[in-house]
Amino acid sequence: MSHIFVSPHPDDAALSCGGLIANLRELGQNVIILSVYSGHGSLDRLTSYQRQALGFGGKAIWPASQAFDSGSIAADNAVPGETAEALAPWQAEPARLRQTQREADDSAKEFWQRASWYRRADISATSLPGGRTRDTNNGQGVIDPGAVAIAAAAGEAMAQRRQEDERYALFAEAAVVFLDLPDAVFRGYEGDEQLLGTVRGNDAAPIDLLRKEIARLEPQRVYFPLGIGSHVDHQLCRRVGAALLGDAQAWTMPGIDWSDKVAFYEDFPYAYWQQFDPSAGLPANYTAGLPANIGLTPEIADVTDVLEQKVQGIAQYESQMPHLFGSVEKMADAVRTQGATVALQSGRGGAVERYWSAVRS
């Protein structure tokens, strides 16, 4: 028997449920993370918005690749008295090249500060004297070598995120299953208005796939996202939970009654950003699609004693820290603030996570 956390993307389970996961493991419970939209995509094929949406919008994120496009050098650093249009990119002045190289090196050092070495971000894409254009020493900067690690080093965004999911699973003593469905940005959603808006009519929730995966794991409980923030991938995963709750009614022969197994978690950091407060009742959009005789009731998980463990777990997702929070320190502040805020909303002290359990009337 296992506790299954349906994570729309790598990092969602850690962000929203890291405290409960830590509590469950301390009690000896099995924890399995289903990473749903974890499909790979090459940075070479991504638009600027897709890079940003996946958390790879900053130049400091991929210093091992040609992070600084030579074609953008002229626009990056203008020489006094010169306009950006004055020279073609391949005519950049040496002073401008040196300045861009210094910025590249600073970003590379910042990214690799966790190690005693770093890769130089060579803007000219040529070998340094006596050096190599890419690092060929296995095992540096990764947990273990292999296809995923090599792909991440080569600059594949989803491969990097998947590797971070594996790091978190190792840290949390959990198991992770990758379903590798393509992220919304690979399914044609472009811009925040679309990504955080209405699910397209032809974009079906992976109900059959998740039902099969969850059932074979013999769950004691299954946790789906509530959909706070309205990210389309989160909405689709919530629809799967709602669909499972209707299964028992649809079957002629007795099957799994999901009403005592399904719960929905509050999506962090969206709940933090939106100052989510259900004190006046859960908004109707979060119960949409539930069977008429199913309601949601709040349950509290006290995570005071494992809050710092949750922070450390989220920090395993290094690529997402600048994108989501700006830094690990700001992430830690957000986690602590949200835990205390939800505790106060619940009439408690310390730090808590709130879940919404299905109840059949």
Q: Return the minimum-mean-pLDDT range out of 128-142, 218-232, 287-301, 312-326.
A: 128-142
361: burial class by Cβ within 10 Å (0-12, 13-18, 19+)?
Answer: exposed
* Cβ atoms within 10 Å of 75's Cβ, excluding its own: 11
Q: Is the pLDDT of residue 312 over 50?
A: yes
Q: Which of 170, 117, 123, 346 is nearest to 354 (CA)?
A: 346
Q: Is the pLDDT of residue 129 over 50?
A: no
Maximum average pLDDT range among 129-133, 176-180, 203-207: 203-207
**Token couple for 218:** 């013999």
Q: Which of 149, 148, 131, 132 is nearest to 140 (CA)?
A: 149
Q: Residue 269: is the preceding peptide bond cis (ω within 30°)?
A: yes
Question: pLDDT by residue (tens digit) across 81-119?
Answer: 555 555 555 555 666 667 777 777 766 665 555 444 444
Q: Is the pLDDT of residue 122 over 70?
A: no
Q: CA distances (Å), 104 to each of 115, 169, 186, 242, 343, in order?
A: 18, 32, 29, 48, 43
Contacting residues for 343 by C-beta, under 8 A, at least 6 apart: 349, 350, 351, 352
Question: pLDDT by residue (tens digit) across 200-226?
Answer: 999 999 999 999 999 889 899 999 999
Q: Is the pLDDT of residue 120 over 60?
A: no
Question: pLDDT by residue (tens digit) across 48-66?
Answer: 666 566 665 433 333 333 3
Higher pLDDT, 347 or 99: 347
CA dihedral 54, 58, 64, 66 (to 10 degrees): 100
pTM of the model: 0.71
Superfamily for the 2-47+164-360 domain? LmbE-like (3.40.50.10320)
Question: pLDDT by residue (tens digit) across 11-37?
Answer: 999 999 999 999 999 999 999 999 999
What is the per-residue pLDDT for 149? 52
Q: How far apart are CA 12 and CA 9, in angstroms?
A: 6
Phi, psi of 23 (to 5 degrees): -60, -45
